[in-house]
Amino acid sequence: MSSMKKVSIGVLSTALAFTMTACGSSTETSSTSKSSEKPAAETKAPTTDKKVTIEYWHTYSDAEEKLLVEEIKPLFEKENPGIELKLTRMPYENLKQQVITSVSGDAAPDLMRMDIVWVPEFANMGALLEVSKMDGYKEMKPNLFETPVATTYLKTKKGEGYYGLPVNTNTKVAIYNKAILNEIGKKEVPKTMQELEEYAKAAKAKGKKGSITIGGNYPWAMIPYFYSLGGKFTSDDYTKVEGVLNGPESVKALETIVRWNKEGLISPPILGGEPGTWDGMKNNDYMMIDDGPWFYSLLMAEKDSKFKPLEDTVRGLIPAGDGGGKSVVGGEDLVIFASSKHPKEAWTFAKWMLGEAPQKIMAKVGLIPTNKKAAADPKVMETPFIKEFVEQMKTTVARTPIPQFGEMDSIISLAFEKSIRGEMKPQDALNEAAKQIEAVLKK
């Protein structure tokens, strides 16, 4: 998942294994459901004498797949006896190319759990079904978090629509080293970017290697700071870059980050330096990092580690600046391929997966529900680190849901890097980036 670029190479492979990659084969076993909760009746497909089999490609981790096989599959099939769910676990390496090949060869599955940044691109290819035309979509949409829904949106000359359902989501919150906060005499986390800067200066004065830890110069890493400080990539309808990415608010936001770096307030990972974000936090080198829920779920599993994430850190929302306290949305969308031979049954499953019961089941392993009611359920909130992530979801930003996002990501990353390294002034770097992106959008 592109949302984890910032983790160091060693940790990246581990984190990806937990959040989305797989190295196993297809799994089609089932067992008795452990859940007594039932989705709404309208998600059921008509019962027929002959079962229809729909195939679902996914990239769930071991723990996530266990729930999928042992609870999700049997519960769905019990509620929808005319449909059999075939589960196929896919390795994430080279997966995008494999999906492209399967689409061109008419060998795509019925459904797939797809990285959110891929959805507009595949929708633009004509490979995905527009679910906003499906029965029950309009009634479902208000029950879901707005920003994850936005990742399924596509606007073209032919019209606009939604091409998937956000099956799970994630975001990043601010994570502080408790020992360093104590050392600088702070009992509460900073609420504003100005306060964060003050904390960072105090930590620097104590000789810390890093204070504000931005994990890289690419959008996933930079959005919480760039957007919170008032910057934006595009207009709200994602159609205009010129005058927005290089507008006065965005330039000021980048100038602030550049100044922080010059003053030694930003940790080395922003330009690929060491120690990495997790090591810097574990070694008491870095005052603050931002990260997703996997930071806790993975590090809590390290039984022999002296670093105890729940005890040794304090979580907070991203501090607010001129743009508010914004973070970036990650996760996966559940899409139906246009080539599906059973689109009605595939939609039945997709809609069912967004119900409260399935969303609560998958939340057991730290996947944040996109269903608002499921996310607010007291049982979901019992996960010791989940509260702040659910709260942060209210102010997240999508990484521009357009087919050309891959090119846009690279252009913006380079502009940020040139500015931070001092090779170009922020205004000039963003002017150049805006011009290049506008050209890409006109292709």
Question: At 423, which amino acid appears?
Answer: E
Cβ(67)–Cβ(367) under 8 Å?
A: no
Q: In this predicted model, which residue has the larger pLDDT, 382 or 56?
A: 56
Handedness of CA 258, 262, 265, 267 (dihedral sign): positive
| pLDDT number for residue 365 | 85
pLDDT of 46 above 70 = no
| Segment among 127-136, 300-309, 322-331 with least mean pLDDT | 300-309
The mean pLDDT of 313-340, rounded to a whole number, is 97
Instruction: Summarize pLDDT for 392-438 with one digit per residue, the tens.
Output: 999 999 999 899 999 999 999 999 999 999 999 999 999 999 999 99
| pLDDT number for residue 63 | 87
Report residue 301's pLDDT band, with 50, 70 and 90 as the boundaries.
Answer: confident
Q: In this predicted model, which residue has the larger pLDDT, 14 or 199?
A: 199
Cβ(412)–Cβ(166) under 8 Å?
A: no
pLDDT of 298 above 60 = yes
Instruction: Summarize pLDDT for 177-206 with one digit per residue, the tens.
Output: 999 999 999 999 999 999 999 999 999 999
| pLDDT number for residue 159 | 84
The β-bridge relationship of strands 165-171 and 159-162 is: unpaired
The β-bridge relationship of strands 83-89 and 52-58 is: parallel
In 3D, which of 171, 166, 173 has the Cα closest to residue 370? 166
Percent of the chain with pLDDT over 70: 89
**229, two tokens:** 């400080």
The mean pLDDT of 328-349, rounded to a whole number, is 97
Question: At 259, which amino acid appears?
Answer: R
Average pLDDT, the chain: 89
Name the one residue in this structure whose structure tokens are 């590090």.
299
**282, two tokens:** 């574990």
| pLDDT number for residue 7 | 35
| pLDDT number for residue 71 | 98
The β-bridge relationship of strands 173-177 and 159-162 is: unpaired
Report residue 383's pLDDT band, with 50, 70 and 90 as the boundaries.
Answer: confident
Instruction: Summarize pLDDT for 86-139 with one digit per residue, the tens.
Output: 999 999 899 999 999 999 999 999 999 999 999 999 999 999 999 999 999 999
| pLDDT number for residue 423 | 98
**95, two tokens:** 């997966």
**DSSP code for 71:** I
**DSSP code for 266:** B
Percent of the chain with pLDDT over 90: 81
Distance CA 56, CA 335 (A): 10
| pLDDT number for residue 144 | 96
| pLDDT number for residue 49 | 64
Maximum Cα interatomic distance, the chain, rounded to a whole number of Å: 74
Handedness of CA 284, 285, 289, 294 (dihedral sign): negative
Distance CA 303, CA 399 (A): 35
Please name every residue paired with 162 in a beta bridge, in sequence order, or none if there are none: 153
Cβ(268)–Cβ(274) under 8 Å?
A: yes
**230, two tokens:** 């008032």
Instruction: Summarize pLDDT for 268-290 with one digit per residue, the tens.
Output: 999 999 999 999 999 999 999 99
The mean pLDDT of 308-336, rounded to a whole number, is 97
